[in-house]
Amino acid sequence: MDKKIQKRKLGNSNLEVSAIGLGCMGMSFAYGTVPDKKEMISLLRKAVERGVNFFDTAEVYGPFTNEELLGDALAPIRNQVVIATKFGFELDPNGGPKWIGLNSRPEHIRQVAEASLKRLKTDVIDLFYQHRVDPNVPIEDVAGTVKDLIKEGKVKHFGLSEAGAQTIRQAHAVQEVTALQSEYSLWWRELEIEIIPTLDELGIGLVPFSPLGRGFLTGKIDDKTTFDSTDFRTTLPRFTVEARKTNQVLVDLLTKIALQKNSTPAQIALAWLLAQKPWIVPIPGTRKLERLDENIGATAIELTAEDIREIGNTTSKITIQGTRYPENNAKLVNR
């Protein structure tokens, strides 16, 4: 395994990260049975050995346990890694597993920052995202609060997640936004209409989450796959049996190209993202070493302009069935 993954800068910032990061949510949250913590610590450290230096978490993952996992795993090698975490949800005061609303009030952002620093066993958060836009708090107040945290040395960079173009502009005018984290993949390309041109204009990086369509684009899931009852994909319209059957056409295309390139559908999906812009850094999640290696391998795949055109043209004719989120969650995105 070649340990030299290329690096990328997020937008016009000086934040340089590995071209593929690691989304850590699934290590302690959302995808069925939670794996053994020692195994996940080992996986995180092996990721660093292989050149991955960009790790994504949030207080709401668990809640709290994912940040604690990263703190335990990465504290001894803290100077080698970039850690991104997030604020913006109101968690159940009784310790329940679900968030109960949005909260980006300035005092809450500060409380989350202090608590995250402790759990992550660090004195600075490299990239602090607003997890979802809070309609009850002006984005200028949010950006101003993070600006103060940056001045105080507790945060290095400010990010937004699933924000609309207008919100991005308003925030950026107060405190430079280093990165936007939003869903972007071959089965969710809505960002190309307005968001990606805005990021390009302002010099903001893009960190696509679910770049493999929550596992669907790997070709390992079909209409016969069954999910654990605690797996949140059971709640997603895109993962109904009918939707999976219809959406298989996209995986078939990736599989065809993968055979030509001696690679896998997942690697083609990631390579396509990397080829879109030099400031795009996907963060596929995994809990398995062989998948980590497979994802890293995507950085070595050369897609020609013809390949990219073919993928783009063919996928634009495919109508993906099913919305990203159930109705009650859909209103949280692209504000």
Contact yes or no for 128/157 (Cβ under 8 A): yes
Contact yes or no for 178/13 (Cβ under 8 A): yes
Contact yes or no for 157/182 (Cβ under 8 A): no
Angle at 282 between CA 28 and CA 131, to 5 degrees: 60
Q: Give the residue among 260, 242, 261, 250 at the shortest CA–CA distance from 315.
A: 250
Q: How many Cα atoms occupy the beta-carbon half-sphere of 159 within 13 Å?
A: 30
User: What is the per-residue DSSP string for 262-296?
Assistant: TS-HHHHHHHHHHHH-TTB----B-S-HHHHHHHH
Distance CA 86, CA 70 (A): 14
Give the CA radius of gyration of the chain.
19
Catalytic residues: 61
User: What letter does residue 45 receive in the DSSP assignment?
Assistant: H
Q: Could you tell me which residues come within 8 angstroms of residue 38 by beta carbon, excluding any fewer than 6 positions away?
A: none
**Tokens found for residue 211:** 């770049």
